[in-house]
Structure 1
């Protein structure tokens, strides 16, 4: 099982809605957990730590390497393994905490967002709601046939993101709409991060679905 930190619901709920947080490359499970205190009291919030250790408290869901021309490429074998590990982890958490099976939210930032998209297609309908912050859909991690039919997506990106260009993120709504999947897309005048108004926007999006 992946290492994780948890915030129990602040109100007594028999089968709480579940929010899983997936951090970005070179971070750890504490990073997005700072959101937890500000989010709905009804939620069980679990922040997972990626499996690949980089040293100094930094972890990755998969390696990002550079070739001779300094072009970046992702270790897709590691990425797919992480998708499988996250899927198993979600099942383990659902069972351990007896969460509401129909209300699972998956929030990922950057590399975590890329894998949140991939998981939602590789494991159709395992999660009902995906919040993809500063990420993109990596076609190489998608199954041949898209059978996901009821997940909806909140997507946001910084217009001056220097790590993952905003153009990459802009392709997601078109792809989702082509597959009849609901999505809400927004941009903020920031770099590779989450602006305060961005936080309140996805908080409200989650609240409407609880």
Structure 2
């Protein structure tokens, strides 16, 4: 797994690809990769994997063999097709990433929450997202602070908008792991700076910056994620 790279938010020509500000559609309920058949999911904690911009549901599913097998894993596909020639799928358009308001990010997270609700899963649910998927994981946790046991966010950020549910999140302080590369030049610096200040105020944060790592996932980071997930299994309350 040395030098592992997963797809995510992509900068092109020093700017951001323009996806427009169109309506976010519902997620495709059939575009999900499961680690266990439906009859074998009862009684197991669920970890939902959210891929990055221009990627697809199979991408993060490649991590499953390296993660604790006590979880059921579901890798879901984002609902938007990025503008040509970017392949794959996206959760929200990324043009004007820092300047625009949070409405589109919130709409995308609400579509994901509707997908979660339709599952009817009766056990703990955790989130693991990379890049744009990490943004959705964080936003979903903010919108529903009591709905998820924890979140793992890799190479992502917390949207700078204010949500009415942030106070409840700050009160509950669910565990969150945030990992990022010291050489990640994809996420704009103002968003990183905002997240550095925002996360410790609202969640029980475990974080690490990985020297030499760009916009990807390293073996050291994966090892830290496995340790974080193991703690969640040993002590679901914290």
Using the size of structure 2 for normalisation, the TM-score is 0.74
Match of 1:79 among 83, 105, 121: 105
Inter-partner Cα distance in structure 2 for 1:119 and 1:141: 13
Choose which of 69, 85, 89 in structure 2 pairs with 1:59.
Answer: 89
Cα distance in 2 for partners of 1:153, 1:146 equals 16
C-alpha spacing 1:166/1:152, structure 2 compared with 1 (3 Å):
farther
Matched, 1:187 2:202: no
Residues 27-46 of structure 1: pairs in structure 2 closer than 5 A: 27-46=55-74
Residue 8 of structure 2 is matched in structure 1 by none
With structure 1 as the length reference, what TM-score do the two structures score? 0.83
Pick the structure with more strand per residue. Answer: 1
Residue in 2 that maps onto 1:18: 46
Superposed displacement of residue 178, structure 1: 2.5
Q: Kindly tell me the number of residue pairs found equivalent between the two proteins.
A: 198
Residue 175 (structure 2) aligns with: 152
Unmatched segments (≥5 aa) in structure 1: none
Over 3 Å counting, the alpha-carbon distance change for 1:142 and 1:109 in structure 2 is: farther
Output one character per residue of 1:7-47: Cα deviation in whole Å (capped at 9) or x when no partner. Answer: 018xx674100000111111111110100122112111000
What SS does the aligned partner of 1:140 have?
Answer: coil
Paired residues of 2:159 and 2:191 also in contact (CA < 8 A) = no
- Pick from 169, 186, 201 the counterpart of residue 178 of structure 1: 201
Partner of 1:47: 75
Distance, in Å, in 1 between the alignment partners of 2:112 and 2:164 is: 16
SS in 1 for 2:70: coil
Bigger relative CO (Cα 8 Å, ≥ 6 apart): 2
Contact 2:53 2:89 in 1 (8 A): yes
Please identify, of 83-92 and 159-168, the stretch whose mean Cα deviation from structure 2 is larger: 159-168
Shift of 1:144: 6.5
1:111 corresponds to which residue? 132
